[in-house]
Chains A and B, each alone.
Chain A
């Protein structure tokens, strides 16, 4: 492929302007889903077409890009998207959270706290939090407009009734700035508190569903709960087998076919930095 055949960051300038307009509106109305003219991208739906379009629209020559998939920098999806922008935009890429200016993510928020000069771009499969209870798009938009969100608690009620606690473990619904109900994308609920009052700008792109939404810096993001069943994140009895952290989100990894297993940080950069013994 000759990179010269493509515009900077693949998308043409008109498309980027259209997406930026949607992004501006999304930032102006935190949590509100803005429709946009999603384009075909050279990767399949469900692999991050929404996130990649958002990244392409905001990335500049001086940006440093990090891409993670389930917290890891070295998975297929993360490597392909990172390489895609290295070739079409010629930008520097990194695996280090602290060095990145744009972080595109699937299913995790980095453990390292973000700063105000960073942007986190989420890949979103299904943007509509009300979809499970209302299949009609016209009706869900009306429910958003009128802030009729009470029925969302029926789902939590059902969880507690059946299992004694809320078992929804990922894509746990949140209320943004006390107004719009939002799906945080399929991040574990462990990461929900990180959305709250985060100094970084958080952008969400859903390519197939053609929606963009945003959580601006320092915005209230509250997870739904009951007074007598408050929101709780996952916890582990183990520590990371590699870096010894007891504060990060752990993946269970099978090591052999005899029942051997270990728990390790899902955030590879965080884990590697701790092992290197430096703050990086």
Chain B
């Protein structure tokens, strides 16, 4: 086991001492006759990054959308621990409350940054939007925060007033991350954050994400079909196939010693460098 992985395990163990941030029980969702996901249960602890892997069509994104409250599941429970320590049933909350959570305590990183950005608004405006959503009314402070976050995601400060439509794919994705993290969310949901990027840009983004997640103590659920992304980012993994979780466990255990035949197939299909 690598040094980094051992540290990750140690983090995961200390995190277990706290109550979970998110608890999912028997979650299921179908679209008509098509079963998207079923019987999904897991817990997410503070500071933990959970990877959800599986081939396309295995229900990963549906699961993520249910967790984000964007889709109403057919069955099952999603419980979330609020900042004040209360555990609430996500779907028993009013829509107003869910939307408030979505713009304060949660972040959602889309696979396609164009879905998560306002392309006609400057980079600074994109980052500042969440602050303005929660009531920031001081232009100078909003701008300072935007500048700060642009720096954190390694975008040239000279681009602060440029529109993201003119940014490269990698920069757009980093901007989307900054836009989500500026309000200090407690839980970030990411849908294929490196999906549409070339390999060198992916590596840089993963590096950045790792640093941010560790530095801010974020909890995150990362959906990906790329096992190397999962290995780099996730402490624990859920392996999904045809809407069900077929295997779960610590990332290194699942990838180095897969138990389920499908996981074995997945792990074996990684190109060995």
Interface residues of A (CB under 8 A from B): 133, 142, 145-146, 148, 150-151, 153-154, 157-158, 160-162, 225-229
Is there a chain A Cβ closer than 8 Å to B161's Cβ?
yes
Interface size class of B (residues with CB under 8 A): 20 to 34
A to B CB contacts below 8 Å, 27 in the list? A133-B118, A142-B95, A148-B133, A150-B129, A150-B132, A151-B129, A151-B132, A151-B133, A153-B132, A154-B125, A154-B129, A157-B124, A157-B125, A157-B128, A157-B132, A157-B139, A158-B121, A158-B122, A161-B124, A161-B161, A162-B161, A225-B137, A226-B137, A226-B138, A226-B139, A228-B139, A229-B139
Chain B, residues 112-133, CB within 8 Å of chain A (1/0): the string is 0000001001101100110011
Interface residues of B (CB under 8 A from A): 95-96, 99, 103, 118, 121-122, 124-125, 128-129, 132-135, 137-140, 142-143, 161
| Minimum C-beta distance from B125 to chain A (A) | 5
A146 with B99, Cβ < 8 A, contacts A226-B137, A229-B139 known: yes
Contacts of B137 in A (CB 8 A): 153, 225-227
Contacts of B132 in A (CB 8 A): 150-151, 153-154, 157
How far apart sit A35 and B103, CA to CA, in the bound complex (Å)?
Answer: 29
Contacts of B96 in A (CB 8 A): 145-146
Contacts of A145 in B (CB 8 A): 96
| Minimum C-beta distance from A156 to chain B (A) | 8
Main secondary structure of the interface of B (DSSP, over half): helix
How far apart sit A226 and B96, CA to CA, in the bound complex (Å)?
Answer: 25
CB pair B99 A148 closer than 8 Å: yes
| Minimum C-beta distance from A133 to chain B (A) | 8
CB pair B134 A150 closer than 8 Å: yes
| Minimum C-beta distance from B26 to chain A (A) | 29
| Minimum C-beta distance from A276 to chain B (A) | 45
Contacts of A150 in B (CB 8 A): 129, 132-135
Closest residue to B139 on the A side, CB-wise? A226
| Minimum C-beta distance from A158 to chain B (A) | 5
How far apart sit A126 and B192, CA to CA, in the bound complex (Å)?
Answer: 39
| Minimum C-beta distance from A280 to chain B (A) | 42
Closest residue to A145 on the B side, CB-wise? B96
How far apart sit A263 and B96, CA to CA, in the bound complex (Å)?
Answer: 50
Contacts of B122 in A (CB 8 A): 158, 161-162
How far apart sit A146 and B96, CA to CA, in the bound complex (Å)?
Answer: 6
How far apart sit A44 and B118, CA to CA, in the bound complex (Å)?
Answer: 35
Q: Which of A133, A154, A160 has the most CB of B within 10 A?
A: A154
CB pair A227 B138 closer than 8 Å: yes
A158 with B139, Cβ < 8 A, contacts A146-B96, A150-B134, A151-B132 known: no
How far apart sit A133 and B161, CA to CA, in the bound complex (Å)?
Answer: 19
How far apart sit A154 and B130, CA to CA, in the bound complex (Å)?
Answer: 9
The 5 closest A-B pairs by CB, nearest first: A150-B133, A153-B132, A226-B139, A150-B132, A227-B138
CB pair B142 A157 closer than 8 Å: yes
Other A-B contacts than A151-B132, A153-B132, A154-B118, 17 sampled, CB-CB below 8 A, are: A142-B95, A146-B95, A148-B99, A150-B129, A154-B121, A154-B128, A154-B132, A157-B124, A157-B125, A157-B142, A158-B125, A161-B161, A226-B138, A226-B139, A228-B138, A228-B139, A229-B139
